[in-house]
Amino acid sequence: MQKISPFLWFDRQAEEAVDFYTSIFQSSKKGRVTRYGDAFPDRSGEVMTVGFELFGQEFTALNGGPHFTFTPAVSFFIRCDSQDEVDFLWEKLSEGGRPGQCGWLTDKFGVSWQVVPVELFDLLADKDSQRTLRVTQAMLAMKKFDINALRQA
């Protein structure tokens, strides 16, 4: 068990969110589900927490009520090895959500994700400052990243 892992606060959609995420990511699994007991009469029997794992990273989802919501101030960064991976994850995670700029999106549960090709960092670190400027300008104009367009910049 990891010492530190993300703990995500949902209103009442924790299990739905976990099922959604584990259906998208390979090497993922749903873990222990706990339920509210009699100490919470208005929620007794409902799902309280759901453990899950994505690529070996442990998470916990909580049905904590409407008191808190997600913001883009915290996001999950996904390093993608190919355009196919970018396309697949972008399509799945943005379904019912909102696309953002520069590879960011907010999923249907309000969680922010960054779907980024690893090659972008090599392009941004190029020794040719004019090329990095062109790559940066191309990146800033994109929602979902297009690796070929970044290479051509």
Show the domains of the chain with their CATH numbers: 1-67 (3.10.180.10), 70-153 (3.10.180.10)
**Mean pLDDT over residues 111-130, rounded?**
97
**Mean pLDDT over residues 77-95, rounded?**
98
pLDDT per position as a tens digit, 44-59: 999 999 999 999 999 9
**Rg (alpha carbons) of the chain, rounded to whole number:** 18
Q: What is the pLDDT of residue 1?
A: 75
- Which of 93, 94, 99, 145 is CA-nearest to residue 124? 145
Q: Specify the DSSP class assigned to residue 117.
A: E
Q: What is the pLDDT of residue 7?
A: 97
- Which of 143, 104, 139 is CA-nearest to residue 121? 139
**Mean pLDDT over residues 130-142, rounded?**
97
* DSSP, residue by residue, 64-90: --TT----TTSEEEEEESSHHHHHHHH
Q: How far apart are CA 59 and CA 97, in angstroms?
A: 21
pTM higher than 0.85, yes or no? Answer: yes
Q: How far apart are CA 151 and CA 142, in angstroms?
A: 13
